[in-house]
Amino acid sequence: MANVLVFIDNQSPTLKKSSLELLTIARTLGEPVAAFNGEFNDDVAAALSSYGVTAVYRPGSADLDDYLVAPKAAYLAEAVAATGAGTVLIENSSDGKEIAARLGIKLGAGVVTDVVGVEADGGAHKSVLAGSYKTVCRATTPVSILTVKANSVTPEPAPTATTPESVTIEVPAAATANAARITGRSNKATSGRPDLLDARIVVAGGRGVDGDFGPVEELADALGAAVGASRAATDAGWISHDAQVGQTGKTVSPELYISAGISGAVQQKAGMQTAKVIVAINNDAESPVFEIADFGIVGDLFEVLPQATAEIKKRKG
Amino acid sequence: MEETLKIIVLVKHVPDAQLDRHLNGADYTTDRAESILSELDEYALEAALQLTEAQGGKGAGHQVIALSMGPAGAANAIKKSLQIGATEGVHLKDDALAGSDAAATSLALAATVRYLSAGSPVDLILTGMASTDGETSLVPAQLAERLGLPQVTFASELEISAGRITARRDSDTHYDTIEAPLPAVVSVTDQINEPRFPNFKGIIAAKRKTIITLSLADIGVNPAEVGLSGSWTAVQNAEPRPPRTAGTIITDEGDAGIQLVDFLAAQKLL
Ligand SMILES: Cc1cc2nc3c(=O)[nH]c(=O)nc-3n(C[C@H](O)[C@H](O)[C@H](O)COP(=O)(O)OP(=O)(O)OC[C@H]3O[C@@H](n4cnc5c(N)ncnc54)[C@H](O)[C@@H]3O)c2cc1C
C-alpha cells in the first residue's frame, strides 16, 4: 500500500484531536507514516502506535519552531522523498496551509485546502465561497497535499496497534538561512478552554452581548466548549481578537455552533457555516442568522443562555 | 535618508461578498461580473503608504506599485489603488491565465515580480491576510517560495530598518516578534491600520498615473504553464450547497433555555 504522510506539529504533551483525525483519514488512503515535529514522549509514541503508524520521521534539528513555516516545509519535502508518499495530510491551520503551499512548490504538487472529507481515490471534499458551494477537488500531480479541517472525522484507533520504526530526517541547512525568524515571544494568559479550531462545540457571542461575555462563557464552560465571537464583539474590545470567527478570523467547523446576539453577516457565516448543527439566539426574528439555524430561538440571550446553563448543570448533576 | 523603497502591493479584484456569488462553466471558475477591490488588500496598500510616508513619502521617490492579475475588470482594483495613493499600477492580463489555481497564479506573479525588479530590486511584496474568495492564503506563500524569499504572515505591526523587516504577530497563546531580511513577502491583518479613502485630490492625481499592462509574453511565461493546463489541482464537481434544511424557530416564552437543552440532548450533543 502507498504511504500516506501525516505532518504532526505537536506543541503539547499529548496529540491533538485533529492529529488523530488526520491519522484516521490516512488509514483509509494507505499506510500511515508520520512526519513529526515538537514534543515527543511516551504518550505520544503510544498514540501513534495505536493509530497504526508504521514509521515516525523526526527532524534532525530541534530549532524548526524558532522560524515561521519555511524550514518545516523543507523538512517535509525531505520526508516525502524518504517515504515515497503520494499523499500528504496537514492540519488546516494558517501555518498548516502555508507549509502546504511551500511544500507544493518544492514538490511540484497540487494543494487542496479546507478539506472536510477525502475519498479513497483521493478526491477531496471542500466547500467554497463562504460555504455556498460544495466541491470535489483533486491534485492532478503525482503527489497531492491536502489540508484537512478539524472535526472532519471521528478519530478511531487502528484495529491492531503497530510498532513504528523511527527515522531521523536531516533538515537542509539552507532551510533556515533566509527564513523569517521569531525573535521575541510574550505569552498571553490562557483561558483553559478548548482550542477554538479544534473544539467540538463553540459558543459565540456578538454585538448583542453588549459588553458582557459572562453568559456566553458560562454556557461554554457547562458544555466544555470554546468561546467564539463576531468581529463587532472583538472590535469593541469585549473579547480578544483570537476569538473572532469569520472571514478575517477563524474558520471553524464544530459539531455544534451556538450563536448568541450575532446577526449572521456573510463574513461571519464564512467562518462557521460548515458547522454540523447551528443554534441561534437572537431577539430579532428577522435576523439572517435564522436562515442557517437548525434550531433558532427568538429571545433575549440574557434570559435564554443562563437558563440553558442552569439546566445543563442540573442534568449533568 | 537612505535608499528609496520599492514596494509591490498585490491587489485583487473579487466578487463583492455582499452579493450572491457563483461558480461558472465546465471548469467552475468564479464569476467576477460584479467585483470590487478586495477589502483586505486595502490594509496592505495602507501599510505600504505608511511605510513610505514614514521615510519621506512620494517626494522621496519611493514606489508603491499596485499589481493585479486578472481579466479586464482587474483594472478597477488597480485604479482604486492609484486613487488611494499607489504611485504606479501594473496589470497582468492574458486570456491564457483564466482558470489558474494557486500554483499557476504564483508562477505568473513570480515572473512579474522578476520583470519589475529588472531596473531596481523590489524591497517588499505586501498582501492582505487572505483573499475574500477562493484559494485563501496559498498564493503569497507560493510566491515567496518561488522567489526564494522569507514570508511574514499576519503582521499586525510593521517596521523597516537597515534592510530588515520587523513585524508583530498575534497567535492564540502569544505575541511574537518576527524578523526577516528584505526582500520579503509580508501579509498584514485587518488590525494593522485604518485604510484611508480616496479623496478628491487622489482621484484627480490618479488620472495622470499610468497602468502598465503586461502579457505572458512580456514576462516570459509560456501559456501552457498557467491557466487550467498549468494548474496542479482541478475542481471535479461543484454543486450549490443545499440550503440548510429549514430549522425549527421558536419564540421564547420563558422556557426556551430548557427547550434548547432538550434539542441538544436529542441531537446527542450534551
Ligand atoms: C473585510 C471585512 C471582514 C470582516 N470579517 C468578519 C469576521 O471575520 N467575522 C465577523 O463576525 N464579522 C466580520 N465582518 C463584519 C461583519 O460584516 C458584521 O459587521 C459583523 O459580523 C456583525 O457582528 P454582530 O452580528 O455581532 O453585530 P450586529 O450585526 O450588530 O448584530 C447584533 C445582533 O444581536 C442581536 N441582539 C441584540 N441584543 C440582543 C439580546 N439581548 N439578545 C439576543 N440578541 C440580541 C441583534 O438583533 C442583532 O441581530 C467583516 C467585515 C468586513 C468588511
Average pLDDT, chain A: 94
Q: Rg of chain B over CA atoms, in angstroms? A: 22
| Residue in B closest to A126 by C-alpha | B238
* Ligand 1 residue neighbourhood (C-beta within 6 Å): A 206-208, 230-233, 244-249, 261-263, 265, 267-268, 271, 281-284, 287, 300-302; B 39-40
A residues 17-46 lying closer than 8 A (beta carbon) to B: none
- Tens place of pLDDT per residue across chain B (270 aa): 457 999 999 998 776 554 444 555 555 555 444 456 788 899 999 999 999 999 887 678 999 999 999 998 889 899 999 999 999 999 999 999 999 999 999 999 999 999 999 989 999 999 998 754 445 679 999 999 999 999 999 999 999 998 999 999 987 778 999 999 999 999 999 989 999 988 999 999 999 998 999 999 999 999 999 999 999 999 888 888 777 777 999 999 999 999 999 999 999 998
Q: Which range is least confidently modeled, A30-34, A247-251, B32-36, B59-63?
A: B32-36
DSSP letter for B163, please: T
C-alpha distances in Å from residue A156, one per residue of A21, A117, A124, A161, B181 = 8, 15, 20, 12, 44
Question: Side-chain half-sphere of A265: how many Cα atoms within 13 Å?
Answer: 16
Amino acid at A240: S
- The per-residue pLDDT for A198 is 84
Torsion of CA B99, B102, B104, B109, to 10 degrees: 110
A3-177 and A201-316, same CATH topology? yes
Strand, coil or helix: what is A24?
A: helix
Instruction: Report whether the peptide linkage leading into residue B240 is cis, meaning its omega lies within 30 degrees of zero.
Output: no
The top-level CATH class assigned to A3-177 is: alpha beta
| E strand segments, chain B | 6-10, 13-15, 23-24, 29-30, 35-37, 63-69, 88-92, 124-127, 151-161, 164-170, 174-181, 184-188, 211-214, 233-240, 248-251
**Minimum-distance ligand 1 atom for the alpha carbon of A210:** 38
* ipTM at complex level: 0.87
What is the domain partition of chain A in residue ranges? 3-177, 201-316
- The per-residue pLDDT for A130 is 63
Using a CB–CB cutoff of 8 Å, tell me whether A161 touches chain B.
Answer: no
What is the domain partition of chain B in residue ranges? 6-230
Torsion of CA A158, A163, A168, A171, to 10 degrees: 0
- The per-residue pLDDT for B3 is 77
Question: Side-chain half-sphere of B75: how many Cα atoms within 13 Å?
Answer: 12
- The per-residue pLDDT for B226 is 97
Q: Which three cell numbers stand for residue A304?
A: 435564554
Q: Which three cell numbers stand for residue A165?
A: 520504526
- The per-residue pLDDT for A270 is 86
Answer CATH for B6-230 from 3.90.230.10, 3.40.50.720, 3.30.70.1520, 3.40.50.620: 3.40.50.620
Contact at CB, A308 and B175, closer than 8 angstroms: no
Using a CB–CB cutoff of 8 Å, tell me whether B148 touches chain A.
Answer: yes
pTM beyond 0.90, yes or no: no
Q: How many CB atoms lie within 10 A of CB A183?
A: 12
A residues 115-154 lying closer than 8 A (beta carbon) to B: 123, 127-141
- Give residue-wise pLDDT tens across range A53-95: 999 999 998 899 999 999 999 999 999 999 999 999 999 988 9
Q: Show Cβ contacts of residue A163 under 8 Å, excluding neighbours closer than 6 positions.
A: A49
Q: How many CB atoms lie within 10 A of CB A307?
A: 22
- Give residue-wise pLDDT tens across range A163-204: 999 999 999 988 898 899 999 999 887 778 998 988 999 999
Strand partners, A89: A6, A146
Q: Show Cβ contacts of residue B200 under 8 Å, excluding neighbours closer than 6 positions.
A: none
Where b means 16+ CB within 10 Å and e means fewer, B128-155 reads bbbbbbbbbbbbbbbbbbbbebbbbbbb
Q: Name the strand (E) or helix (H) holding A17.
A: helix A17-29
Q: Please state the separation of Cα A224 from the chain's center in Å.
A: 17
Task: Point out the residue among A131, A285, A308 whose CB comes nearest to the CB of B261.
Answer: A308
Q: At what angle do helices B138-147 and B102-116 cross, to 10 degrees?
A: 50
Contact at CB, A140 and B134, closer than 8 angstroms: no
Is domain A201-316 in CATH 3.90.1170.50, yes or no? no
- The per-residue pLDDT for A15 is 94
